Amino acid sequence: MPVRIILDDVELDQSCSTVVDAVRAAAAEAGQSGRLISEVILDGQVLGPDQIEEVMTGQAGGEVLECRSTDAATQIMEVIEACIDTLDRITAVQQEATGHFQSGRQQDALTSMTECIELWDHVQDGVANILHALGTDEAAYRQASETGETAISALTGTLRTIRHAAEAGDWVAVSDTIGYEMEPVIEAWQEMLTEISGLAAGLSGSSSNDG
């Protein structure tokens, strides 16, 4: 049965054979107006991130797809602000980890480190989504931006150093790396997010001019 597509309360003339194709069609339609999909509703159920992933891997079916869209630049700025807030949280967690290491509370330190890595994953995913919305990807952005190349390379190298030190059981090295080398990395990512926000502002201006 074809999947009906409703975008911002307006049913599209087209229908698709799969939910995946329907989502892509809705995204393409929204993109023509400089907008991004912000909410996905399948057969009356609002989908969370995990459920959307299931849809996009072909693991879910349905009959009616409803999508809400928002201005692309606005949505990108919201993600950037969330990433900045997460960087602040990372700073706090890294300080906690350093304190635990210095106090000999290795298990507490490892717990903080695990949280820290998860937070970095969120930030990296957020940046990847932003770049995709801007019509590029990490590889292209790094090639075009010295700021981006510096930030991403710094994080990759520092996390590698921490991992190798942890695998060797060198907790002093882990603590020192967190305490002294991660702060410049966070500053580099803050600079990168500032640069990306400028790109998003340009997108907003372009959309306004197109309208």
Q: Of 37, 72, 107, which closes a domain?
A: 72
Measure the N-to-C terminal CA separation of the chain; round to a whole number of Å: 36
The residue count of the chain comes to 211
Q: Are residues 118 and 169 in the same domain?
A: yes
Do both 146 and 193 map to the same domain? yes
Predicted confidence (pLDDT) per residue in 36-58, tens digit: 888 899 998 888 877 777 777 77
67-88 mean pLDDT: 90
Domain residues for the domain of 19 are 3-72
Are residues 178 and 89 part of one domain?
yes
Q: Name the one residue in this structure whose structure tokens are 């957020």.
A: 126
Residues 61 and 165 occupy one common structural domain: no
Q: Which residue has the higher pLDDT, 6 or 62?
A: 6
| Local structure of residue 60 (DSSP, 8 states) | -
Prediction pTM value? 0.73
What CATH number did the domain enclosing 139 receive?
1.20.120
Instruction: Tell me the pLDDT band of 184, cut-offs 50, 70 and 90.
Output: very high
- Asked if 137 and 201 sit in the same domain, the reply is yes
- Phi, psi for residue 115 in degrees, rounded to 5: -60, -40
Same domain, 180 and 118: yes
**Counting beta carbons within 10 angstroms of the beta carbon of residue 144, is it exposed (0 to 12), middle (13 to 18) or buried (19 or more)?**
exposed
Q: Provide the pLDDT for residue 204.
A: 54
Q: Which two tokens stand for residue 53?
A: 């992933």
Q: Who contacts 158 (Cβ-Cβ below 8 Å, separation ≥6)?
A: 177, 181, 182, 185
181 or 48: which carries more pLDDT confidence?
181
List, in sequence order, every beta strand (DSSP E) within the chain: 3-7, 10-16, 35-42, 45-46, 64-71
